[in-house]
Chains A and B, each alone.
Chain A
Amino acid sequence: MKPVLKSIRLALTSFLILWPLSSLGAAPKVTVVDGQFHTPSGAIPAGCFVQMKPQLNGDELIASVIIEVEGKSGCKNAKHPYPEPLQDPKAGPPSYSVLATLPEQVYQIKACEGVSGSMGKSCSDLLVQFSERSFGGRKALVVSHRGRGSALTSFDPKARVAEIREHYQAVAGNTKLKTKRIKSDCTNPGLTGEEPYGGRETLYRMVNGQVAEITDEISTLYGHESVQFLLMDGEIWFAFIQIRNESIPAMGIEFGYDTDNRLYFQKENLFLCKLTYPSDAPDGIRAGQNTEVPCSELHHIHGTGSPNEEQRVAEVSSFSDSIDVLLAHGKKLLDNAKANTHTGHGDWCKEGGSF
């Protein structure tokens, strides 16, 4: 057990030192790549956004556009993502640029329609919000026109990441801070006496009397997993999940890929996800490379494995099967610390190592 915990601590320390600050993405399902919105199946045509723009005659009718219905129909796959009557035949195509990223999947964009003549184009600043809803009984990704505000306080993801990083460096692994550690060893007296076969250890690190870091580590016969929460005033800012497995090649047992998962939150809304395969990695991915990914693609955090079950995929997390469950797990641990009760912690062994 101790070597396992040591290795996790070493990894966490490495993470602290090597935390990269690369390009930034957007909320689940939709990412910003080269200044354009993408879903997992590719770029969203500009026309899908520009048709919500106020027309030159002042009309403003379209309140939302269906981007995809379960990845198929919708504006993204339409013959004409931009309605032909809106397109001036002598003018350039519609275009847009992302001006600002705001919380809750809201973006401020500049949407431009082509206009013939010297004007060239007509642009408007729009607030657009991505969401999912039911359409004809199927799940649809929708972008809604939320207005034309221009002076909102922008959410700057880079600044937010820098803020999280600064807090992390001050707190995570800081041995000068007051800590509390709860540890449970699971034993199986029926088979090999009291020999431990796994366990769980939870560490709380305090800043000014408040919990600022929680690390929950579990170990079983099949591997181990840790989740580290970074908190500020009771709010989860960041989560780092490491999933490791004990493959047994001699027995032909090969588990899923080990992963490191970095989840960044703004007001407990996930806005950035990064994934690393620390040892071996799927084809086309370099092991050890920390890569920004659409949060929806972290299937192993969402409890669904991978859509393609034929391939070897990332091992599924034991802690969570959704981001909501992950946040709830962090809140439960925080509540335990506040109430100084850790009964659930000891029960973990009795429950056979599951939540």
Chain B
Amino acid sequence: MKSIQMTMQHTLRIHLVVYALLLLFVSTPAFASDPPKAEVWLHKGSKVPLIVNDQAIPPLHTSKGPISPSCLGMMLGILPEQRDQMIGSVFIQDNKGRGCFRANDQEGIVRFDHVEYEVVEVEENNTYKLKFHALEWTGVAVEDFVIPTYKLMVRFERQPYTLEDNTVVQALVAVNLGKW
């Protein structure tokens, strides 16, 4: 009974915190007049997630749709209690395996209970300064949820990927450039 109560409390807190985060995004919009149509672009020119039917639409899009925060969030470190930054890049799409867009479990190794991102700055060469707002279970002595903010620079680029029949395709990859 106690565990059910705790679960309900956690779930409620998660929703409250996420809602607060999304309100924060919406309250500080930054729209560009002409959204660029490169391989990766700002959806409707917005640097922050757009709220549609109570759903947050991430700001970075490709031809296949929004790039999920969990996918990019993997590069911030994985697992509770494990903050080793070791994911150098993530497949987004076109690797014929399951990049982010076709993943069955996008959140399998993400350390966050919930994460969203906003674009702070659009740099040259498909490079973006991102700010992540996460909901994270500390998992340490004082166990609680925390809402940390992380900064990460990411560059999107095409990289060769050899298929099993030895044909080479160009996979779209998000490259972790570290903190900014």
Contacts and interface: CB of A to CB of B under 8 A. Distances in A.
Contacts of B82: 78-80, 83-84
Contact of A142 (B85, B88, B160, B162): B88
Contacts of B106: 61
A78 B84 contact: yes
Interface stretch (B33-41, B45-53, B141-149, B172-180): B172-180
A60 B79 contact: no
B168 interface: yes
Nearest to A66: B88
B150 to A, nearest CB: 13
B162 to A, nearest CB: 3
6 contacts: A59-B97, A60-B95, A62-B74, A66-B86, A73-B86, A74-B84
Given A73-B84, A73-B85, A80-B84, A63 B90 contact: yes
B86 A148 contact: no
B154 interface: no
Given A83-B109, A143-B88, A146-B162, 13 more contacts: A58-B104, A59-B103, A61-B71, A61-B99, A64-B175, A65-B88, A75-B86, A127-B162, A138-B178, A142-B88, A146-B160, A147-B162, A148-B164
B89 interface: yes
Contacts of B88: 63-66, 135, 140, 142-144
A80 B166 contact: no
A25 B166 CA distance: 25
B85 to A, nearest CB: 7
B104 to A, nearest CB: 5
B86, B91, B161, B177: residue with the most chain A Cβ atoms closer than 10 Å: B86
Contacts of A83: 78-79, 82, 109
Nearest to A106: B162
B39 to A, nearest CB: 15
Nearest to A48: B86
Nearest to A80: B82
B100 interface: yes
A191 interface: no
Contacts of B120: none
